[in-house]
Amino acid sequence: MPAESATAIPRPPARTASAPVLTGAQAVVRSLELLGVTDVFGLPGGAILPVYDPLMDSSELRHILVRHEQGAGHAAEGYAAASNKVGVAIATSGPGATNLVTAIADAYMDSVPIVCITGQVFSTLMGTDAFQEADIVGITMPITKHSFLVKRAEEIPGAIAAAFEIAGTGRPGPVLVDITKDAQQAEVPFVWPPKLDLPGYRPVTKAHGKQIQAAAQMLAEAKKPVLYVGGGAIRARASAELLTLAETTGAPVVTTLMARGAFPDSHTQHLGMPGMHGTVPAVLALQEADLIVSLGARFDDRVTGNAALFAPNAKVVHVDIDPAEIGKIRTADVPIVGDLKDVLVDLEAAFRSQIASEGPDTEAWWSYLDGLRTEFPLGYAQPADGLMSPQYVISRIGELTGPEGIFAAGVGQHQMWAAQFIKYERPNAWLNSGGAGTMGYSVPAAMGAKVAEPSRHVWAIDGDGCFQMTNQELATCTINNIPIKVAIINNSSLGMVRQWQSLFYDGRYSHTDLNTGHGTVRIPDFVKLAEAYGCLAIRVENEEDVDAAIMLALATNDRPVVIDFVVSAEAMVWPMVPQGVSNSYVQYARDHSPSFDEEA
């Protein structure tokens, strides 16, 4: 993101009167207000308690009391991912802070801008194993863009302002601000705006012109180009510029799991999602390309398969805001460091100047790719056990909700089906945990997204395993009037692990049966559980009842809705490229389950 983006620090005029004297805790609240923050997610405790007192008096900050700090972190992520703003989570010291770690790691992997503010024990007690002491700065150092330890009250405004600057500029990501209790209690003059001192933090936003020209020339000469689009396109708010470049060049487009919605699914140049569970045209387009233009993607192993065998004949143009990503996995013939939104504008202009009246000759390439689309359409088989197809349920949720909805998925089979069978036409409509693969992400992330975008329908598409990790945030939703919709794709098992056991472990289902949906015993009964949280709860076991349940959920806006969709455990995610093999080895199942050769 460019430094001038909406997440950068607002610059109110300096105070002309003498600076007011505030406690450090009051400075925390006032700094958030001046930064334009309107919503925060948190849970109080002893070491952060001084902040919660002035927070009660703020008319500008809405604090949402979560039931678990992990929920606060994921809610801040969902808020940020849906709105392009910086999300905020607050927790106390020790276990309060460590409960944020999973969400912080998740945000780091997926480049989500959040600021986590934690309380710390008195500075005089640090290092003594004091009650609820934990070195959260040390713990989070590998999974944050930066971690601040603040021991003096006068440093608080500067630390918080710097945290927002770092989180929201360059490659977005999480920043931690850990504040000792004595710093929160001390009184000091409050000076705003603070002078930012960020030595060494200089995100590169403007790409080198010669690299742009080289990339444009390669695009003009390529016979088999592919635009490989990653989540960076969404973080950079570059969807419009991407559309322009794609249409100017005529190149096929693939969007990764993190980039769903960055380019419209309905567009004729879109081949779908690449990777382990990608469409056959998308997977083979990358594998057989002579030029890959990587736009905000990082050549993740789930996309490349065996990286040594990935796209052996392709030259690579790699565009990323983070220079550390370029060349990390695949050597770039043309490396371009810069803000993707600006790079796309420059690259499109350079491409037009490279070509005369006609563009590159890609007719044979498109003929081949269109043949793959015809031969291998995305589809699914009806389960043989007579239970509902999860793909059908998810596709109906997408169709009845429409492209203006927001869909936050957990992790597992339902995540892949939601990425495959819901059509995404706009950015920020698809939220998921891509890099970390965090079970429990969906419900709190949907909650945060609904706070950020209250006028949109927000679905948490969850599995029965994921749902049991963070469903307590339904209480938060009910009490705070956050009417999300939750679709539990209940196959009574840890579905993705079970799929791997089916394919690679001779059907030995070691500890993957959850006993949540099939038969007479349901532990827990999700309908009763949801009702206990004050939700409208529905169970659906027949396909003829699916639409009515979804429509009722969409019409209900006075409380959360939970639908327990009881689906087949036999359904699998196809296509599938087994881990560690070449993407030339594509398996696709439509009417039957293929056999897999692990040695292929």
Whether 318 has a pLDDT exceeding 60, the answer reads yes
Predicted pLDDT at 580: 72
Whether 582 has a pLDDT exceeding 90, the answer reads no
Containing H/E element for 487? Answer: strand 485-490
Tell me if 389 sits within 8 A of 446, measured CB to CB: no
End-to-end distance of the chain based on CA atoms, in angstroms?
41
pLDDT digits (tens, 9 = 90+) for 406-439: 999 999 999 999 999 999 999 999 999 999 999 9
* Distance of alpha carbon 42 from alpha carbon 47, whole angstroms: 13
Tell me if 294 sits within 8 A of 251, measured CB to CB: no
* Distance of alpha carbon 14 from alpha carbon 32, whole angstroms: 16
Helix, strand, or coil (residue 408): strand
Give the amino acid at 481: N
Tell me whether residue 109 is one of the annotated catalytic residues. Answer: no
Predicted pLDDT at 356: 57
Tell me if 340 sits within 8 A of 295, measured CB to CB: yes
Mean pLDDT of all residues in 336-349: 97
Q: Which residues pair with 587 in a beta bridge?
A: 576
Which domains are delineated in the chain? 21-189 (3.40.50.970), 209-375 (3.40.50.1220), 390-566 (3.40.50.970)
Which of 4, 131, 141, 598 is flagged as catalytic?
A: 131
Tokens of 294: 């990587």
Using 50, 70 and 90 to split pLDDT, how confident is the model at 18? confident
Tell me if 241 sits within 8 A of 248, measured CB to CB: no
**Checking DSSP bridges between strand 485-490 and strand 315-320, what pairing results, if any?**
unpaired
Q: Which of 335-344, 346-355, 401-410 comes out lowest in average pLDDT?
A: 346-355
Tell me whether residue 421 is one of the annotated catalytic residues. Answer: no
pLDDT digits (tens, 9 = 90+) for 264-303: 999 999 999 999 999 999 999 999 999 999 999 999 999 9
pLDDT digits (tens, 9 = 90+) for 165-202: 999 999 999 999 999 999 999 999 999 999 998 988 99
* Distance of alpha carbon 8 from alpha carbon 84, whole angstroms: 11
- Give the residue carrying structure tokens 């790699």: 318
Q: What whole-number percentage of the chain has pLDDT above 70? A: 94
CA 138-142-147 angle, 5° bins? 55
Which of 122, 126, 132, 354 is flagged as catalytic?
A: 132
Predicted pLDDT at 596: 32
Whether 589 has a pLDDT exceeding 50, the answer reads no
- Give the residue carrying structure tokens 């100047």: 353
Tell me whether residue 131 is one of the annotated catalytic residues. Answer: yes
* Distance of alpha carbon 514 from alpha carbon 539, whole angstroms: 17
pLDDT digits (tens, 9 = 90+) for 113-164: 999 999 999 999 999 999 999 999 999 999 999 999 999 999 999 999 999 9
Predicted pLDDT at 598: 35
Q: What is the DSSP letter of 534?
A: T
Whether 531 has a pLDDT exceeding 60, the answer reads yes
CA 118 to chain CA centroid, Å, is 23
Inter-CA distances, 375 with 143, 144, 391, 590, Å: 43, 45, 20, 11
* Distance of alpha carbon 85 from alpha carbon 557, whole angstroms: 25
pLDDT digits (tens, 9 = 90+) for 388-398: 999 999 999 99
Tell me whether residue 181 is one of the annotated catalytic residues. Answer: yes
Using 50, 70 and 90 to split pLDDT, how confident is the model at 587? very low
* Distance of alpha carbon 568 from alpha carbon 129, whole angstroms: 50
* Distance of alpha carbon 502 from alpha carbon 370, whole angstroms: 32
Using 50, 70 and 90 to split pLDDT, how confident is the model at 518? confident
Mean per-residue pLDDT over the chain, rounded = 93
pTM equals 0.94
pLDDT digits (tens, 9 = 90+) for 449-473: 999 999 999 999 999 999 999 999 9
Containing H/E element for 87? Answer: strand 87-91
Whether 550 has a pLDDT exceeding 50, the answer reads yes
Tokens of 37: 């923050």
Predicted pLDDT at 517: 74
* Distance of alpha carbon 578 from alpha carbon 597, whole angstroms: 9
Question: Greater confidence, 359 or 468?
Answer: 468
Tokens of 83: 């709105």
- Burial zone of 324 (CB within 10 Å; 0-12 exposed, 13-18 middle, 19+ buried): exposed
Question: DSSP for 184-231?
Answer: HH-EEE--SSPPP--TT-----SPPHHHHHHHHHHHHH-SSEEEEE-T
Which of 218, 496, 572, 576 is flagged as catalytic?
A: 496
Whether 6 has a pLDDT exceeding 60, the answer reads no
Tell me whether residue 468 is one of the annotated catalytic residues. Answer: no
Which of 85, 181, 224, 315 is flagged as catalytic?
A: 181
Mean pLDDT of all residues in 556-566: 98
